[in-house]
Amino acid sequence: SQQGEEDPQALSIQEGENATMNCSYKTSINNLQWYRQNSGRGLVHLILIRSNEREKHSGRLRVTLDTSKKSSSLLITASRAADTASYFCATVTKGLTGGGNKLTFGTGTQLKVEL
């Protein structure tokens, strides 16, 4: 099973609308990150929220984190066709040696923004 599970798995909206994606995780985390991936391409880091933060903004992105519910949400406001991509949440847990903090990805939400 995955550390992070996204909801919904697929989302289709019209340009200009807001898109909200949710993520749940199971274990204690250092931080939670959101990534974007265009089809078959690399993963692009969008935003990071630390475990002691509740909300963070970056441009049209707003991320919330509820550690009591082990959940996070990503809101994209005023969506554009170029926002069409898969969005993954990823949690950071400590590596065995404490030196490398590995990312564990959820299953992703496929967002389609239509004109």
7, 24, 105, 112: residue in contact with other proteins (rule CB under 8 A): 105
Compute the least distance from the CB of residue 54 to other proteins, in Å.
Answer: 17
Q: Which amino acid is at 84?
A: T
Does 33 help bind other proteins (rule: CB under 8 A)? Answer: yes
Lookup: tokens for 112: 């389609």
How is residue 79 annotated by DSSP? Answer: -
Preceding amide of 8 cis, omega within 30: yes
Lookup: tokens for 56: 């963070």
Q: Which is nearer to other proteins, 12 or 101 (CB)?
A: 101
Coil/strand/helix, residue 74: strand
Q: Which amino acid is at 33?
A: Q
Q: Give, as ranges, the residues between 44 and 63 that touch other proteins (CB under 8 A).
A: 44-45, 48
Does 24 help bind other proteins (rule: CB under 8 A)? Answer: no
Residues that bind other proteins (CB under 8 A): 2, 30-31, 33, 35, 40-45, 48, 88, 92, 95-97, 99-108
